Copies of this chain bind each other. A is one copy, B any other.
Amino acid sequence: MKDVNEAFRQFLKQKNLQLTMQRQLIVDEFAKVKRHLSVEELYDLVKKREQSIGQVTVFRTLKLLAEANIARAVNFGDKTVRYELDFGTEHHDHLVCLQCGAVVEVFDPDLEKLQDKLCSKYGFSPDWHRLEIFGTCKKCK
């Protein structure tokens, strides 16, 4: 199975774009941190390794990653967009703790099946979906 770097390189090539030092660094950090990051959060991380990188470049690189289906934009409650890795990972839903902000990724095949069934009942062709459950996590109880 190819890794994120390889997939990104391939995507760039196909688009006649270049893999620059900046992009490489941003993707590295993004793939390493297994959390849902806003542009600003990722920018802060990247900046620790390379002062000179601008926030705009992080923004643009995340857009590229989303276009390449390597990242996916998500948003919980607040108004800022976050990105999560969407490569080599199965589709999943989110349990968001309203107390501590922790986000757990979960998956249930039966749930997926039921959703498909619901769609077909309405003659609807699902493309993708998102399910977020907000509440209190184990620790916070």
**Chain A residues in the interface with B (C-beta under 8 A):** 75, 79, 81, 93, 95, 97-98, 104, 106, 108, 110-111, 114-115, 118-119, 122-138, 141
Q: In the complex, what residues of B have CB within 8 A of residue A122's CB?
A: 95, 104, 106, 137-138
In the complex, are the beta carbons of A129 and B118 less than 8 A apart? no
Bound-state CA distance A124–B133 (Å) is: 9
Q: In the complex, what residues of B have CB within 8 A of residue A115's CB?
A: 111, 131, 133
User: Which of A75, A81, A108 has the most B CB atoms < 10 Å from its CB?
Assistant: A108
Q: A124-B135, A124-B137 are in contact. List 19 more A-B contacts (CB 8 A).
A: A79-B81, A95-B119, A108-B114, A111-B111, A111-B115, A115-B131, A118-B133, A123-B141, A124-B136, A125-B135, A125-B141, A126-B133, A126-B134, A127-B135, A128-B134, A128-B135, A129-B133, A129-B134, A131-B131
In the complex, are the beta carbons of B134 and A127 less than 8 A apart? yes
